[in-house]
Amino acid sequence: MNRNRIIFGIGVLAFVSVIATVRLGGFLVDNEYRQPDRQAVALEERGEAELTPRQQGIADEQAADEAEARARPYEEAEYRTVPFVGSRVTVWVLAQLHLLFAAFVLAVPLFAFIIEFVGYVKKEERYNKLAYEFTKLLSVSFSMTATFGAFLTFGLIILYPKFTNYLMHIFSPTFLPYVLLFFLEALFLYSYYYGWGKFGPKMHLFLGFMLNIVGTAIMFIANAWLTFMMSPGKRDDVDGDGVPDFVSAVSESGALLSLRDAFFNFTWMPINIHRIIANVAFGGSIAAAYAAFRYLQAKTDEEKAHFDWMGYVGNFVAIIAFLPLPFAGYYLAAEIYAFSQTLGIQMMGGTFSWLFVIQAALIGNLFLGANYYLWLGMGRMEGGVHFQKFIKWLLIAIALCFAVWATPRYAISSVSEIAAMGGSSHPQLSYLGQMSAKNTAVNILILSTYMSFLLYRRTGRQSVHPHRQLLARAQAIVFSSAAALVIFYGVYGYYVDADVRIRFAIPQVYSVLAALVVITVIDLPLYRNAAQSGETKWGRMPAVSQYALIFIALSFTWLMGLMGYVRSGLRQEWHVYGVILDTSPDAYTPTLGFATQVVSVTVLIFFGLLGVVFWLSSLGGKKDWEPKPVADGRDRLEGGQAA
Amino acid sequence: MKLSVPMPLRLVLLVLGTTAFYMYLGQIVPQKEAHPPPPVLISAEMTTEDLVAVGAELASGKGQCLVGCHTVGQSGPLRYPDLDGIGARAATQIEGLSGLEYLAQSLYEPAAFIVPGFADGMQPIDQPPISLSEDEMKAVIAWLQSLGGTPTVTLDTELGY
């Protein structure tokens, strides 16, 4: 039987079932049991309504409810609850979904603009086409962001009315600029997307530039609201003793003292920096996942080549942004420590210590996934076998660093366990959990991943530079020196006092960053006009590489969910840290198991919605619907009806 | 016969499998709900010994002294000074300050004196977010005195803050 006829039949059956159910329900209500007594007959004769026992019960309940409502004085609600799920989880999921879509909407224009600019400078149409492909994802995602933003706002107003009112008291002057910027973002976003090919390149680039500026400004405003909750003030050397003092933006009772200090609070800029970088990494991974999705659907070699390249660029963007992300993370963590040691220790120790073990697993998987994709990418080019012998060593280095990073410094411990250990750290294992070891691990991870990228870049290419041997040696020396310096400071950190050790992270970071820059600077002329030992065959990647890209996107999303939880959760029982206490039934930190369940549900909802975004975005590339021709020459509709 | 799994189903399995894996990691780590610290009852008739016990409880709980900051009886690279022997050491830390005065200062004004080799970082614990009451501060001081020294603090002791 024709499939369309079956679907049509099911639809008709469903419709008839609904009508039949409604009619049956109506019939049963109309023919309710009535008492066959004389009083009922008398009422009917007088023309008064006769109530069935059910109707009487409903009327009595309504009367009782009304009487209770009238007797109850009006009270301002402090909290409201959501049955089964709870108000905290509701707001948590809504906020996270809003943030995930917002991160994507803010990130994609950033690298779409850069790719378009590169295409404009290099005069290559393929970059323009790629940037447009990325931008296709924006339209639906922007609607999703706005929808979840509205859900979140209503959720906060309904479920946390008193606290939301307090935030309005503090930040109401920022709301109008926020709305205006949001309006401008919609204007620039749609003109950037729909204006593709309609404006001159410079004008179009200007629209993209403005879209990024406005989007970033929106994020900065929203970041002020959330960072205020964590650090409601700034640090300033008030008494001139050279030591920064805490300057609260609000009084002890929560009254606003300085909007400027509330807005530009202590963790505002670290969060801004961290979010910009994280958004780009996340956006790149999601765009790469879209390319992977399209690659797996592709029917032609041309489509495969295009989406393979798109996936590569998306992943490249994600990894390039991901490399400095741990530095931004440590900067943020250091600032949180500097603001409040208690807050910092809550974050890295105590309740959240095991959370960072899961974070380590996620980051380790991201590094492994990214490296695996690069290693598979060597198959695109002939001559890749030459470098494959290095892969096992890189894998060992990554696995070792992964293990060190996953070792917690402090463990969740009971009071008796703390007493037995003389503190909340394990006597032996905590050595690996210290910042000296972790900083070393992450820096070596970054160097290893960069090495994978360099190997990928060299695959199938032969430098023709006259000083190629010298330059290659220089790169090797820089790389080895950076690795040696990182390890030296990592080990030396165990032999010095805390105030010295804490400063060792700086030379470690700078040596790695300097190595990345110097090696890149050497690599550009070294491989300019390099001889190709074979052609790069885009579209030749195995399907597993595309699943790796989707896995990376999933891990990024999960990581964002997890880190969103710790950023918010480390305030513990405070709405605004140290100022406004949470007195709701949810004023406790849930178990990590529960938190990961909420994060997982959020990730699944996000990926379900992302599937819709991908599907809608891919419709643009499909052929227009056309009626199918029939044998007698007349057109026939797909459903079988004659046109 | 070769079993071929359709691509959409593979994607769904990948998404569900990866999410389930990470969620599983969350289930196998130690689970603990962190509730706001319960109020510690300090009654007027408490002796110094009672205060030491309460102070020990506060140090591991509401006061957060041993939750990632200080240690007792550990050596090696430490974040903040080990508290073992502080009861005896306190009197010799700053010239002119008695052991009691030093301990009170280190809790109320921790930035006033930083033990050499360690970084500044501790916040006054009578203020939010820890917000120990005056009696709770006395209990913590009594506990600190007990670490290598003889506790002398009672609820009538004047701390000068």
pLDDT for res A1: 56
pLDDT for res A383: 65
* Among A215-219, A221-225, B57-61, the least confident range: B57-61
Chain-wide mean pLDDT for chain A?
86
Complex prediction ipTM = 0.80
The answer to whether the beta carbons of residues A261 and A249 sit under 8 Å apart is yes
- Cross-chain residue pair B23–A596, CB shorter than 8 Å: yes
Of the candidates B19, B67, B77, which has its C-beta nearest A558's C-beta?
A: B19
Interchain CB contacts (distance < 8 Å): A and B: 163
Q: What is the pLDDT of residues A26-57, one digit of tens each?
A: 888 777 776 666 566 666 666 666 677 788 88
pLDDT for res A640: 42
- What confidence category does residue A156 fall into, taking pLDDT thresholds of 50, 70 and 90? very high
List Cα–Cα distances, B23 to A50, A99, A216, A407, A602, in angstroms.
Answer: 58, 20, 32, 19, 12
pLDDT for res A384: 64
- Cross-chain residue pair A354–B29, CB shorter than 8 Å: yes
Of the candidates A293, A410, A436, which has its C-beta nearest B68's C-beta?
A: A410
Of the candidates A424, A497, A600, which has its C-beta nearest B117's C-beta?
A: A497
Query: Residue B106: its chain A contacts at CB < 8 A?
Result: none
- Cross-chain residue pair A588–B36, CB shorter than 8 Å: yes
Dihedral sign for Cα B94, B98, B103, B104, please. Answer: negative
**Closest residue of B to A296, CA-based?**
B7
DSSP letters along A595-640, please? HHHHHHHHHHHHHHHHHHHHHHHHHTTSPPP-PEE-TTS-EE-TTS
* Among A158-172, A189-203, A531-545, the least confident range: A531-545
Does B30 touch chain A if contact means CB atoms closer than 8 Å?
A: yes
Confidence check: pLDDT of A420 > 70 = no
The distance of B148 to chain A (nearest Cα, Å) reads 15
pLDDT for res A340: 83
- What confidence category does residue A540 fall into, taking pLDDT thresholds of 50, 70 and 90? confident
Closest of A388, A296, A400, A300 to residue A611, by C-alpha: A296
What count of other Cβ atoms lies within 10 Å of the Cβ of residue A524? Answer: 9
pLDDT for res A519: 93
- Cross-chain residue pair B26–A597, CB shorter than 8 Å: yes
pLDDT for res A195: 93
The distance of A544 to chain B (nearest Cα, Å) reads 11
Q: What is the mean pLDDT of residues A98-112?
A: 94
Q: How far apart are the C-alpha atoms of B158 and B134, rounded to whole Å? A: 10
Confidence check: pLDDT of A636 > 60 = no
Partner residues linked to A532 by β-bridges: A461
Q: A16, exposed or middle or buried, with CB in 10 Å at 0-12, 13-18, 19+?
A: exposed
Please, which residues 53-92 of chain B have a Cβ atom closer than 8 Å to chain A? 57, 60-61, 64, 66-74, 76-80, 84
Query: Residue A411: its chain B contacts at CB < 8 A?
Result: 30
Written as one letter, the residue type at A546 is: Q
Confidence check: pLDDT of A633 > 60 = no
Closest of A186, A284, A164, A263 to residue A220, by C-alpha: A263
Closest of A405, A416, A484, A480 to residue A445, by C-alpha: A405
Which has more confidence, A455 or A244?
A: A455
Q: How far apart are the C-alpha atoms of A586 and A374, rounded to whole Å? A: 45
Query: Percentage of residues in chain A with pLDDT exceeding 90?
Result: 49
Query: Residue A346: its chain B contacts at CB < 8 A?
Result: 68
The answer to whether the beta carbons of residues A262 and A250 sit under 8 Å apart is yes
Confidence check: pLDDT of A498 > 70 = no
- What confidence category does residue A475 fall into, taking pLDDT thresholds of 50, 70 and 90? very high
pLDDT for res B29: 82
Query: Residue A296: its chain B contacts at CB < 8 A?
Result: 7, 11
What count of other Cβ atoms lies within 10 Å of the Cβ of residue A413? Answer: 23
- What confidence category does residue A423 fall into, taking pLDDT thresholds of 50, 70 and 90? low
Each of the 161 residues of chain B gets a pLDDT tens digit; together they read 566 888 889 999 999 999 999 999 899 888 888 888 877 888 888 999 999 999 999 998 888 888 778 888 887 778 789 999 999 999 999 989 999 999 999 999 988 898 888 877 788 888 878 889 999 999 999 999 999 999 999 999 998 88
Query: Percentage of residues in chain A with pLDDT exceeding 70?
Result: 89
Q: What is the mean pLDDT of residues A142-166?
A: 95
pLDDT for res A507: 87
Query: Residue B146: its chain A contacts at CB < 8 A?
Result: none
- Cα A35 to the chain's mean position, in Å? 63
Closest of A4, A135, A157 to residue A76, by C-alpha: A157
Which has more confidence, A394 or A87?
A: A87
The distance of B43 to chain A (nearest Cα, Å) reads 23
Of the candidates A350, A362, A573, which has its C-beta nearest B22's C-beta?
A: A362
In angstroms, the first-to-last Cα distance of chain B is: 84
- Cross-chain residue pair B80–A591, CB shorter than 8 Å: no
Which has more confidence, A421 or A597?
A: A597
Whole-prediction pTM: 0.81
Which has more confidence, B120 or A254?
A: A254
**Closest residue of B to A599, CA-based?**
B23
pLDDT for res A641: 42
Q: What is the mean pLDDT of residues A68-84?
A: 90
Residue to test with chain A: of B22, B27, B120, most A Cβ within 10 A: B22
pLDDT for res A410: 62
**Closest residue of B to A434, CA-based?**
B77
Query: Residue A550: its chain B contacts at CB < 8 A?
Result: 11, 14-15
Does B8 touch chain A if contact means CB atoms closer than 8 Å?
A: no
Dihedral sign for Cα A59, A64, A67, A70, please. Answer: negative
